[in-house]
Amino acid sequence: MKIVHTIDDLRAQLRGQLRTAFVPTMGNLHEGHMSLMRLAAKHGDPVVASVFVNRLQFGPNEDFDRYPRTLEADTKKLEAEGVYVLFAPDEREMYPVPQEFRVAPPGDLGDILEGHFRPGFFVGVSTVVLKLFHCVSPQVAVFGKKDYQQLMVIRRMAQQFSLPTEIIPAETIRAEDGLALSSRNVYLSEDERREAPNLYRLLQETQSIIREVNPAKPEAIKALETEQQMKLSERGWKPDYFSIRLRSTLQNASADDLTKGEALVVLAAARLGGTRLIDNLEI
């Protein structure tokens, strides 16, 4: 595996490659990330991974400074998966001057759910991903469904900028007890780790209720959201949202949408102790 730290070296290494598959990460890699690498290998060759903790997507009170940085361990995992190039730039390489030009997603997608509770998050994500795409020039790029809204933001950005990169979605990888794998899971205490899978169980319960009851009224959906959020609170969580949305737009479903049986997704974000977890489940 080639390890490069500058954009010039990356481009030199990839010159002439026409089927590059790309997986951007912030490091602290786990089995979920490895599944992305394997999926990328099915859609392109060579596979390029990046490790870069992007300051632009962290808010002022978020965990940028304590975000785990495990480049040596990450390198070994990527090499074992047959990744061709690891691009591991520092901040000076990615942002040699202040990044004053930024990509702002439309408010109806970028300012709801995660964007509401983490203002500016999707601006930071979109900006760094577009920049990485220009550095790598991939034919395909793989993003996990665990970050459902992020996947939609990147997909729409690629469409609207006519980028020559196909966005491939990857299913969420879970531990045996259902907890979605995440780099932030390392922050959980033993007790919190035992409690954490209940977020997914509530998503599953919500999925079952909607499939069985098939509610045709937005009021029924709202009542279910409120009930499930209260269950989280009663278990000691501090929920930001527990929301059932249209898969296609992440907007609230109208009565007409529900009558037509439009595809839905339930998304949740909540703090357990000092750790904020997100998850989702398509319905």
Residue positions annotated with a catalytic role: 33
User: Which two three-digit tokens encode residue 238?
Assistant: 């501090």
Gap between the Cα atoms of 67 and 26, Å rounded: 9
Gap between the Cα atoms of 191 and 236, Å rounded: 12
- How long a stretch of residues is the chain? 283
Decide: 139 and 21 in contact? Cβ < 8 Å: yes
Cis amide prior to 96 (ω within 30 degrees): no
Decide: 49 and 34 in contact? Cβ < 8 Å: no
Distance of CA 35 to the CA centre of its chain: 14
Decide: 143 and 168 in contact? Cβ < 8 Å: yes
User: Of 249, 211, 243, whose CA–CA distance to 227 is shortest?
Assistant: 243
Gap between the Cα atoms of 257 and 277, Å rounded: 29
Gap between the Cα atoms of 153 and 96, Å rounded: 26
Gap between the Cα atoms of 210 and 246, Å rounded: 13
